[in-house]
């Protein structure tokens, strides 16, 4: 059993050791006044999936968290003169160029998930992480909060932060199903076929199909009815990450077949059949994926709240979303920066920490819900099902060129200031986290 260290200002338990949870733990670990414990269900840190894309807002969060150098050491970017391109958008059946979405100074900043997690883990001090700790239940009282793990062990601290993903155990504590109903994950209606292709192989395949070789090098989205395909480089441009999507819009609330796994291996024949009739570039890409995996993309409904007493949901536990704006991991990192800034404030202690969690929720809830909602809407736009847009290319182009501005141009330091104002701390001179980074 791990319990409060009363020599410290505040004892914090973090459930979940993904990118967001580890980045958050690293930020907290720089404050000697905090007693920080990170619990990961697996036997070691690991990430599923392949490439992950970060918009300018997420890259700023990484920088503010003091993780810019390990990120830059492994991050990919589009080759010159396309370094500001987030994605080029193309028509499904002939690869015709429609427009490009630009992210000046950032472009398509992406990494392999496992590589990024490893880079962050290297910043985490020894003794904070514990493995084989799957949280199964949470309870709290006026003295503290206790997390119960599947191995029979427990942790008791002042507050508990649920970074435990879309299948979060902490969520049922914050939002008891008996009171709130089922707020668990649901299938979005979309399948995503994933594969990784050596860049040189894809270049050769493009040339063999008569497609422009640069389609292998610059991030692309191919848009079509109920389907779209994206590609972007990872692993220092040695590999191209591919995700091909198909959505069932035949019913308002599609259901997965009973007993179907969220992730399964499928045949290349199935993948090629889904995209029959697509253009040369798309065919070249799919021909290079002999063993695709198929992911049933799940998301959460917009939750009415993230906070209950000593427990707070963040990251995918609070606002899991479909990946169509490349925003899920970025929101987890935004959460990490804002929350760490508040908890490393010297004015935050075990006596007022609950108010700090409430202030975090107050400034973050509307934004993260909007990111969820617009991420789902983006998938509709890409697949010619956007409300008022459909397959009208003029309207489609106008939407694609501007739809990310509000997402990318958000100022996280304003979130911190707004939360501190709620707490009456706006004149306190900043946080220990900023001091630890020398900012």
| pLDDT, tens digit (0-9, with 9 covering 90-100), for 95-110 | 999 999 999 989 888 8
Q: Is the pLDDT of residue 431 over 60?
A: no
How would you list the strands of the sheet with 10-15, edge to edge? 129-131, 34-40, 10-15, 159-162, 311-313, 307-308
Query: What does the buried/exposed string (b/e) look like for 227-255 if buried means 16 or more CB atoms within 10 Å of the residue's CB?
Result: bbbbbbbbbeeebbbbbbbbbeeeeeeee
Please, what are the domains in the chain?
A: 10-83+110-181+301-437 (3.50.50.60), 186-299 (3.30.9.30)
Task: Give residue-wise pLDDT tens across range 199-218.
Answer: 999 999 999 999 998 899 99
Q: Is 433 exposed, middle or buried (0-12, 13-18, 19+ CB in 10 A)?
A: buried
141 vs 88: CA distance, rounded Å:
53
Q: Is the pLDDT of residue 50 over 80?
A: no
pLDDT for residue 429 = 46
Q: Is the pLDDT of residue 76 over 90?
A: no
- Sign, CA torsion 125/131/136/140: negative
220 phi and psi angles, rounded to 5 deg? -130, 150
Task: Give residue-wise pLDDT tens across range 169-182.
Answer: 999 999 999 999 99
Cα→Cα distances 316→78, 208, 388, Å: 28, 41, 30
pLDDT mean across residues, the chain: 94
Tracing tokens 């479909």 back to the chain, one arrives at 322
3-state secondary structure of 145: strand
pLDDT for residue 67 = 97
pLDDT band at 111 (very low <50, low <70, confident <90, very high): confident
pLDDT band at 49 (very low <50, low <70, confident <90, very high): low
Selected catalytic residue, list 91, 130, 194, 437: 194
Closest by CA to 76, choosing from 197, 234, 265, is 234
Task: Give residue-wise pLDDT tens across range 376-424.
Answer: 999 999 999 999 999 999 999 999 999 999 999 999 999 999 999 999 9
* pLDDT cut 70: percent of the chain above it: 95
Q: How many CA atoms lie within 13 A of 327 on its CB side?
A: 29
330 phi and psi angles, rounded to 5 deg? -60, -40
194 among known catalytic residues: yes
């Amino acid at each position: 059993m791990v319990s409060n260290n009363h020599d410290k200002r505040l004892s914090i338990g973090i459930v979940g050791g993904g990118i967001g949870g580890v980045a958050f733990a690293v930020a907290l670990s720089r404050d000697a006044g905090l007693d920080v414990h990170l619990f990961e269900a697996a036997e070691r840190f690991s990430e599923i999936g392949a490439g992950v894309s970060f918009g300018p807002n997420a890259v700023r969060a990484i920088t503010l968290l003091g993780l810019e150098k390990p990120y830059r050491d492994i991050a990919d970017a589009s080759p010159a003169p396309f370094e500001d391109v987030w994605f080029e958008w193309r028509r499904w059946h002939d690869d015709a160029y429609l427009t490009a979405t630009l992210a000046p100074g950032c472009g398509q900043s992406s990494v392999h998930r496992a590589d990024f997690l490893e880079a962050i883990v290297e910043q985490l001090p020894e003794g904070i992480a514990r493995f084989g700790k799957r949280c199964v239940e949470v309870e709290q009282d006026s003295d503290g909060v206790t997390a119960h793990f599947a191995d029979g062990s427990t942790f008791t601290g002042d507050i508990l932060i649920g970074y435990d993903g879309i299948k979060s155990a902490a969520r049922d504590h914050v939002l008891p199903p008996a009171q709130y109903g089922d707020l668990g994950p649901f299938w979005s209606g979309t399948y995503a076929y994933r594969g990784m292709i050596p860049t040189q192989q894809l270049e050769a395949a493009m040339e063999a199909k008569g497609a422009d070789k640069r389609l292998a090098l610059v991030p692309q989205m191919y848009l079509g009815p109920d389907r779209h395909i994206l590609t972007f480089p990872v692993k220092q441009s040695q590999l191209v990450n591919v995700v091909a999507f198909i959505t069932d819009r035949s019913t308002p609330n599609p259901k997965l077949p009973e007993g179907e796994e969220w992730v399964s291996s499928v045949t290349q024949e199935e993948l090629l059949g889904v995209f029959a009739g697509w253009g040369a570039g798309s065919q070249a890409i799919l021909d290079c994926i002999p063993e695709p995996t198929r992911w049933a993309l799940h998301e959460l409904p917009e939750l009415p709240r993230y906070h209950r007493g000593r427990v707070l949901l963040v990251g995918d536990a609070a606002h899991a979303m479909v990946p169509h704006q490349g925003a899920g991991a970025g929101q987890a990192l935004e959460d990490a920066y804002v929350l760490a800034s508040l908890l490393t404030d010297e004015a935050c202690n075990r006596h007022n920490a609950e108010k700090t969690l409430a202030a975090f929720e107050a400034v973050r809830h509307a934004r993260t819900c909007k990111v969820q909602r617009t991420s789902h809407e983006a998938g509709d736009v890409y697949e010619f099902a956007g409300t008022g847009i459909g397959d009208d290319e003029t309207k489609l182009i106008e939407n694609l060129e501007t739809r990310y501005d509000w997402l990318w141009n958000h100022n996280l330091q304003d979130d911190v200031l707004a939360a501190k104002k709620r707490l009456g701390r706006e004149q306190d001179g900043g946080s220990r986290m900023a001091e630890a980074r020398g900012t």
